[in-house]
Structure 1
Amino acid sequence: MITTDRFFHADKATHSFFEGWYFKHQIGNQVYAFIPGISINEEGTKEVFIQVISQQGSHYFPFSINDFHVSESKRLIKIGPNQFSEKGITLALKSKELSVQGTLVYGKLNQIKKNRYAPSIMGPFSYLSFMECYHGILSMGHNLNGTLFWNKQSINFRNGTGYIEKDWGSSFPSAYLWTQCNQFVEPTVRLFFSAADIPFVSFSFLGVICVVQHGEREYRFSTYDGVKAAPIVRKNGHLIIELIQKNLRLNLEVTTEVGHALKAPSSGAMSRIIRENASTEISLTLFKDNELVFKVKGQSAGFEEVGILKGFDY
């Protein structure tokens, strides 16, 4: 089994390591995401947490390492009374600011296409064991059912939409862009995009990974497939990103309002603060052989902007 096939990687780590899963849930224009995870700093001290983010704000729930259990065979995370898996989540979170309780059940997960060259979104980098950060997409979109009680307000997620991804390694990239959306005007369109400064042995490079699903079709843009990124432009509160790969051209325009604070890993420790907008607007235009495939607008997109990518000025 290659490393990216595993659900859990931190079991053998002793220091400078983190692992986190991102479970996103949408109903209408409301977004609720939960990030269970574990971090191990340079001294070997372990920290277990659940982060919560919505349009209203973000929250951090710390737990004891004794509250943390993972089943690789069931692909299940348990943190105290809270459970997260590819089948759904059960929550019992409570602090002075926020209480979340309830259960959500997932429908069939919509996975990305895989082959021997690209067994995951990491492509051939999936086979390397020394990357600073690894990324996995567990579901580009799936149906939801169930109810959450958010500060005693009942939220019915029937016919909602979910998304799952995960990260693990030692640190988040020093600079990166990330956005994800599966709520477009055309319901069969789904998007994941990330561009980051990737340290590699004695140098660094721009790493791009992007998946666009349109019905049964999947378009992959990636560094390992030869993608080129045009200069990134900031205009009227938007970032405009253009990717060119062979006969494909993808244009993303995302609204860049300031988001809510989340903790992020550096050498394993959750010592960085990044900001994520849990629900912003995005437009997506895809060309093939210079002919328009589709142009759609989306809402409830997640967006993170950290630092400035090397070689760009935006």
Structure 2
Amino acid sequence: MITTNRFFHVNKRSRGFFEGWYFKHQIGSQVYAFIPGISIDDKGEKHAFIQVISQDTAHYFHFPAEEMKVDEVAQQVTIGDNLFSLRGIKIALHSAELSIEGSLTYDHLTPIKHSTYAPSVMGPFSYLSFMECYHGILSMGHTLSGTLSWNGEVLALEGGKGYIEKDWGTSFPAAYIWVQSNLFDNADARFFFSAADIPFLGSTFLGLICILQIGDKEYRFATYYGGKITDIVREEDRLTVLLRQKDLQLAIIIETMEGHPLQAPSRGAMGRIIRESASTTFQLTLKQNGQDLLTDRGTMAGFEEVGNLRGFRY
């Protein structure tokens, strides 16, 4: 069985595989995300990496594979002098363009709900061993404390909010949309959305996973719960995605931004370029049987858009 609840998966793969974690930190109009991971191409050549993205820039730090160590029990990964865990991070990254040092501590992590049918955000697809890309959410939101020195400027993230997800497999989907934020007018709101073209048994289907948490309440739209995208419309710099699941309807109106270039996996190798904005704004409207349950605005959101999802022209 493949399960997204494990912290580490790549140790049994020798070629054509990747694994990466996404540690995001928000405070006010500032966003700082770190993506540690490992890449193994089709020839078995491997290297570790740390990608850094902020509202202003993105950088890729390359490391020999042997500098990456993972402790499954402690749920932490170290790459060089950098440590990433569910308790916090320690950063020591230096290049000609960017120097970052410091440490952050996490508290009050917020997991998603689990069941036997849906042991992870991927639902029953978690049990399959042949998916192109697996996804896991480790914390929808948590509090931050500590500081980072960013090119000599001290950044105090006390009172900020964090988010942790992860991906592993062979390649990112050929076409997908991804949006995430836990900075809303409603301080108890946290949001994640992803839709992608999913290769499956010689065919392809449009897969949907979306979670809106408001305090202890979780609304989840997913293909495995009968959730569907009913429309995608582009109007200038806005992308509207409409979802329906039973008696629930969700509208996501995204202010699209081109973002910064990131390296993404294709058959394990980090040779594909995508673009991520770390400072997008979007609006959510959640309805039940046509009656408004929530209207809110997410800010400093992560946003990626690659290709066109099957069945839609926008």
Q: Quickly name the TM-score band, shorter chain normalised.
A: over 0.9
- Alpha-carbon distance between aligned partners in 2 of 1:45 and 1:188, rounded to the nearest angstrom: 44
Runs of 4+ in 1 over 3 A off after TM superposition: none
8 A Cα contact 2:189 2:212, kept in partner: yes
- Alpha-carbon distance between aligned partners in 2 of 1:236 and 1:40, rounded to the nearest angstrom: 39
Tell me the residue number matched to 1:257. Answer: 257
Tell me the residue number matched to 2:92. Answer: 92
- Alpha-carbon distance between aligned partners in 1 of 2:286 and 2:4, rounded to the nearest angstrom: 29
- Alpha-carbon distance between aligned partners in 1 of 2:83 and 2:159, rounded to the nearest angstrom: 21
| Seq. identity, % | 58
Tell me the residue number matched to 2:177. Answer: 177
Match runs of 1:125-204 below 5 Å: 125-204=125-204
- Alpha-carbon distance between aligned partners in 1 of 2:25 and 2:137, rounded to the nearest angstrom: 15
The two structures have a TM-score, normalised by structure 1, of 0.99
Look up the equivalent residue of 1:100 and give its one-letter code.
Answer: I
Q: Does 1:235 align with 2:243?
A: no
User: SS state of the match for residue 301, structure 2?
Assistant: strand
- Alpha-carbon distance between aligned partners in 2 of 1:297 and 1:79, rounded to the nearest angstrom: 36
What is the aligned residue count? 314
Q: Does 1:31 align with 2:23?
A: no
Deviation at 1:8, TM superposition (A): 0.4
Structure 2, unaligned stretches of length 5 or more?
none
Q: Alignment RMSD, CA only?
A: 0.8
Q: Does 1:281 align with 2:286?
A: no
Tell me the residue number matched to 1:246. Answer: 246
Deviation at 1:2, TM superposition (A): 4.5
User: Over residues 142-192 of structure 1, what are the superposed CA-to-partner deviations in whole Å (9 max), with x where a residue is unaligned?
Assistant: 000000000000000000000000000000000000000110111111110
Deviation at 1:214, TM superposition (A): 1.2
- Alpha-carbon distance between aligned partners in 1 of 2:313 and 2:56, rounded to the nearest angstrom: 31
Deviation at 1:94, TM superposition (A): 0.2
Between 197-206 and 226-235, report the one with greater CA deviation: 226-235
Tell me the residue number matched to 2:114. Answer: 114
Deviation at 1:131, TM superposition (A): 0.2
Between 285-294 and 140-149, report the one with greater CA deviation: 285-294
Deviation at 1:236, TM superposition (A): 2.9
- Alpha-carbon distance between aligned partners in 2 of 1:280 and 1:226, rounded to the nearest angstrom: 28
Deviation at 1:3, TM superposition (A): 2.4
- Alpha-carbon distance between aligned partners in 2 of 1:228 and 1:2, rounded to the nearest angstrom: 25
- Alpha-carbon distance between aligned partners in 2 of 1:228 and 1:37, rounded to the nearest angstrom: 31
Look up the equivalent residue of 1:237 and give its one-letter code.
Answer: D
User: SS state of the match for residue 274, structure 1?
Assistant: strand
